[in-house]
Amino acid sequence: MSIQERINQNIGDMTKSERAAARHCLGRRGDFAFLTLDKLALEVGVSTASLIRFCQRIGFAGFKEFQEALRREVQAQSDLPDKYNRTRRVSGEAQFLTQTLRQDIQCMQETVASLDARAAGEAARLLSEAARVFTFGMKESFAMAHYAYTRLLAVRPDVYLLSTLGEGEVETLLSLSERDVCVVYLFHRYTRRAQRLLPLLKRSGARVILVTNPPLELPEKTADQVLFCRVDAGGIKNSFAAPVCLTDSLCGAVAYRLGDSALRHMQKAEEVFRASDLLEETGNGQDLE
C-alpha cells in the first residue's frame, strides 16, 4: 500500500495536527523524504510529537521507518515504459475498459477523500470575483486548461485560454494585475516552461490557483491555492477523471456565487447561440421569414 493510500485510509481519524502533516506530505513529499524531524516540524507548523503520531497513525513504528519507506517510494516512481509494462502484466486486452474505469473511480475517490475544502472554497471565491480568468496547461494538461476555459466561460465573462506563451501570450502576461486569476494545470512530469510560468504569474500580482498531483516539488509560494488531484492509478497515462470533476465542481460553485449575474450571462449566451443557428441556416440557402 502506498503512502498516499495509507493517508487516505486513515485521514478521517486524524487530529487537526495530524491532518496538517498529511496535507503537507501529500503536497510536498520531498520535505518528508529528506528533511530532519525538527526542520520538518517547523515547515509543517506542528510539534515533532505530532509528526511522530502521524507516522504511527498510518502504520509505521515512527518517523524514521516512515521516511525510509517514503524515500523508496519516491525513488521508484514509474516512467512511461514501466507503466506500459505494468499494465500489460495485470490485464489483457478484454479487461482494459473495466480496469480503466476502476482506475478513474479510484482517482476520484482518493481526490475527494484528501481534498482541502477550504482551499476549494477559496479558489471558487477567487474565480467568481476576478476581473479576468486565464487558464493554462502544457502538453496533456492543455486539454484540461481548454476544458476549464469552456466551462468557466459558460458561467462568467472574461475567461481566456493561455495556449503556448508564443502568440500574444507574453503581452497578456505583461497586462496581468492583482484583479486577475490564473488557473494552472500542472501534472507530472512538469515541463520547464510551465515551471517557469508560475513565478512570472506571481510577480505580476495575479492570483494563482494550481491544480496538480502530489508530490509537489515546487516552491510553495508559487500559488495562492493548491488543489490536489490523484491522476496516477496504474494506467499507461495519467487519468484526468479527478481534475475534470474538480473543474466541474469549481464552475458550479462559481455559478452559485455569481447568482443572477451567472444566469444573465448564460441567457445572453443562449441568445447568441440561437442567432448563430439562424445564420447557419440562411447560409445553407434557407430564407428567414
Domains, the chain, with CATH or none: 3-75 (1.10.10.10), 113-270 (3.40.50.10490)
Integer Cα distance of 185 and 207 in angstroms: 14
User: Is 43 or 145 the better-scoring residue by pLDDT?
Assistant: 145
The whole-chain average pLDDT of the chain stands at: 82
Return all residues near 217 (Cβ < 8 A) that are at least 6 apart.
28, 29, 30
**pLDDT-derived band at 217, boundaries 50, 70, 90:** low
Q: Is the pLDDT of residue 273 over 90?
A: no
CA 1 vs. chain centroid, Å, equals 23
Strand 225-228, strand 180-186: pairing: unpaired
Q: 3-state secondary structure string, 267-286?
A: HHHHHHHHHHHHHHHHHCCC
Only one residue has cell 502506498, namely 2
**C-alpha angle 70-214-77 in degrees, rounded to nearest 5:** 50
pLDDT of residue 202: 82
pLDDT of residue 76: 60
**Torsions phi, psi of 139, nearest 5?**
55, -125
Integer Cα distance of 223 and 45 in angstroms: 19
pLDDT of residue 285: 47
Only one residue has cell 455569481, namely 258
pLDDT in tens, 98-124: 778 888 888 888 788 778 889 999 999
**pLDDT-derived band at 8, boundaries 50, 70, 90:** confident
pLDDT of residue 158: 95
Out of 18-32, 55-69, 78-92, the most confident range is: 55-69
Residue type, 216: L
pLDDT in tens, 136-186: 988 888 999 999 999 999 999 999 998 755 555 667 777 899 999 999 998
pLDDT of residue 90: 53
Integer Cα distance of 186 and 192 in angstroms: 11
Q: Is the pLDDT of residue 190 over 70?
A: no
Q: Is the pLDDT of residue 249 over 60?
A: yes
pLDDT of residue 283: 52
From the list 179, 187, 279, 174, the residue with the least C-alpha distance to 242 is 187
pLDDT of residue 289: 43
- Pick the range with the lowest mean pLDDT from 188-202, 247-261, 264-278: 188-202
pLDDT of residue 107: 84
Does the CA dihedral 125-129-130-133 come out positive or negative? positive
User: Is 3 or 113 the better-scoring residue by pLDDT?
Assistant: 3
- Pick the range with the lowest mean pLDDT from 7-16, 34-43, 214-223: 214-223
Polymer length in residues for the chain: 289
Burial class (CB in 10 A: 0-12, 13-18, 19+), 282: exposed
pLDDT in tens, 49-82: 999 999 999 999 999 999 988 877 765 655 555 5
